[in-house]
Amino acid sequence: MSTSKATQLLASEVQTRGDLLRREGYLVRKQLGAKPPPCASMKDLLEKLDAGLTRFADTGLRDDELPVNTWHWTDNMPHSEEVLARLVSACVNQRSVQIQYVGMQRGDAGHWLRIVPLSLDKMGDQWRLAAQDLEKEGAVRTYVLARILAAEHDDQPIPRKFVRASPGDSQKREAVRLNPGLTDVQRRVLARELRIKDGYVTLPARCWHEFMIRFADGQRSDNIAWPPLLSS
């Protein structure tokens, strides 16, 4: 951008946002006591960073001003782009598809399922496919994308009585107790971090089980081969 163009843009912004900005010679400064708009708040900044929006155009901060690192524990892609393309196509066109999926049940070597994809869900660092299992009366399940080995077009008709579920998820609200061994300060910061309101946590229903395993004393089934890694 040329210097003259940038100067024109700054002048226009000062004129438009006189409640927020003021000119001091060649400089543009914030008005004393002015509150930044929501789009310039620290909450908005963190939400953008959390969504992976780290460019200067998104944050207004250069890499040398605010270095941002994102670490991924997992590779979320299915075993080929063709698999993902078929899943996306089935979801967009509201059609059924057959997938070969490897679950974490002991001895699972991959099995085929007939499903109707509903949505892509991101849970923590992991992408999943929410879908209805046609072999289990349309029950809604979630499937980790990286564990889908194959996807094939499904030529079988969807049952007449099939009712497509909502792509969203119902909210589950349950009472929780903080560990009595926590200090008062620990209790305060964790209550805020885990969004505990008046002793309750509210989450989408399909997130609840793993939330309890990660932060509470929820138990996995003995039939699940977990954890996958063992310390040496």
Sheet harboring 111-123: ordered strands across?
A: 139-144, 126-133, 111-123, 97-101, 148-153
Task: Indicate the DSSP class of residue 224.
Answer: B
Contact 62, 76 (CB under 8 A): no
Structure tokens given for 57: 């155009």
Q: Does residue 203 belong to any structural domain of this protein?
A: yes
pLDDT of residue 3: 59
CA distance 206 to 121: 10
DSSP states along 30-90: EPTTPPPPGGGSHHHHHHHHHTT--SHHHHS--TTTS------SS----S-HHHHHHHHHH
Task: Examine the pLDDT at 15 and tell me if it is beyond 80.
Answer: no
Q: Does residue 37 belong to any structural domain of this protein?
A: yes
Q: Does residue 44 belong to any structural domain of this protein?
A: yes
| Bridge partners for 200 per DSSP | 175, 197
**Rounded to the nearest 5°, which phi and psi values hold at 121?**
-115, 135
Q: Which of 224, 228, 201 is nearest to 212 (CA)?
A: 201
Q: Does residue 163 belong to any structural domain of this protein?
A: no
Return the H-helix or E-strand segment holding 83.
helix 81-92
Q: Does residue 73 belong to any structural domain of this protein?
A: no
CA distance 205 to 173: 9
3-class secondary-structure state, position 110: coil
Q: Does residue 220 belong to any structural domain of this protein?
A: no
The model's confidence at residue 1, banded by pLDDT at 50, 70 and 90, is low
One domain, residues 90 and 146: yes
The model's confidence at residue 218, banded by pLDDT at 50, 70 and 90, is confident
One domain, residues 14 and 44: yes
Each residue of 95-127: pLDDT tens digit? 999 999 999 999 999 999 999 999 999 998 899
One domain, residues 93 and 41: no
Average pLDDT over residues 59-64: 92
Q: Which of 216, 123, 219, 213 is nearest to 176 (CA)?
A: 216
Average pLDDT over residues 167-176: 94
Tell me what the pLDDT averaged over the chain comes to: 90
Q: What is the CATH number of the domain that holds 85?
A: 2.30.30
Average pLDDT over residues 186-198: 97
Each residue of 63-81: pLDDT tens digit? 999 999 988 899 999 999 9
- Can you give the residue range of the structural domain that contains 36? 8-59
| Bridge partners for 113 per DSSP | 99
Q: How many structural domains is the chain composed of?
A: 3
Each residue of 154-168: pLDDT tens digit? 999 998 889 999 999
% of the chain exceeding 90 in pLDDT: 66
pTM confidence score: 0.80
